[in-house]
Amino acid sequence: MGGYLIRRILSAVPTLIGVTLVTFLLLELLPGREWALAGASMGNLTSQETLARLRETYHLDEPMPRRYVGWLLRFCRWDLGTSLLDGRPVGRILRETAARTLALNFLALLLACTVSVPLGIFWAVRAGSPGDRAGSLLLYLLYAFPGFAAALLLQQWLAVNLGMLPLQGMRSLSPAAPVWARGVDLARHLILPVLCLAYGSLAYLTRFTRANVLEGLRSEYITAGRARGLPERVLIWRHALRNAAVPLLTLVGVLVPALLGGSVLVETVFSWPGMGRLYFDALQNRDHPVILGLTALAALLTMAGSLLADLLYCLADPRVDSGQISHGRFFS
């Protein structure tokens, strides 16, 4: 296991370099960097001398390959430069926003898995029944419904019409409020964005769980277990679900980048001060150091999620040779 882990970490290095290099090249093609530099100083009144000094500060007067290599070397020391907008270190900005986005994504993934697995088993056991067909139709509709539309409808219904939950933001109380009150306030602000981030994954995971558990229930070893008189709940939860857990864990690892990508929309709609909203604002304002830093961090989180899924894959099925898991996967 240790050697496998080291190989996977080493194989992730070229992937990270490739992601950051493509992002760097795309940012070179985007217009507006001069405008962002001017905005970092004095708006449209920036003199040519000041603009030239800013270009030198941000190494924009150097050739592109040299700038990328320099950024990569600084990235190894977690020195991501400074933001063009407010002059703060990008590393500090990411530390402030990453925890909020990770909390949002973790809760959304936890909610999706907690609801989808029992629901998928429930409908797999009742495959072909009217309830199963109605549930499948509902899940397809839920999966196809656009995320931004769901966010706006939930805001209108739960926040505006009923007034049950906050409309936007992360907190409504001042820092002087009691700790328990601030905790409750934060939980209330989390409900809507977590629901909007989880509902698409919930529909997909439920269908995936149903299909894999149903395949297990129709297999020969389940038939043999029934012939030996094993209880149905043992066959479902101990045998069919365990075999379904192997591809399910792999899918959960793949969902990590999808959730991170969905955070951009959800955090923007709900004004959640995380990486997604920061990404949107940085793209709007051509803040290249922040965009590069966010891309590198998102790539690291995606690869960490894929690696964690493969390690859980090994634990769920010890017969699997860990050296073969990555075949055809993200890092191969």
Domains of the chain: 91-274 (1.10.3720.10)
pLDDT at 10: 81
pLDDT at 258: 72
Is the pTM for the entire model greater than 0.95? Answer: no
Cβ–Cβ under 8 Å, residues 314 and 325: yes
Query: E strands of 88-198, at which residues?
Result: none
pLDDT at 49: 67
Cβ–Cβ under 8 Å, residues 191 and 108: no
pLDDT at 102: 87
Q: 160 burial class (0-12, 13-18, 19+ CB within 10 angstroms)?
A: exposed
pLDDT mean by block of 10 residues, the chain; 332 residues: 72 86 84 60 55 68 82 86 82 88 88 87 83 81 79 87 85 82 89 86 83 82 81 78 75 73 83 87 84 87 78 64 41 33
Using CA of residue 40, residue 41, residue 44, residue 49, what is the dihedral sign?
A: negative
* Per-residue pLDDT reduced to its tens digit, 192-231: 999 888 887 888 888 888 888 888 878 787 888 878 887 8
pLDDT at 324: 46
pLDDT at 329: 38
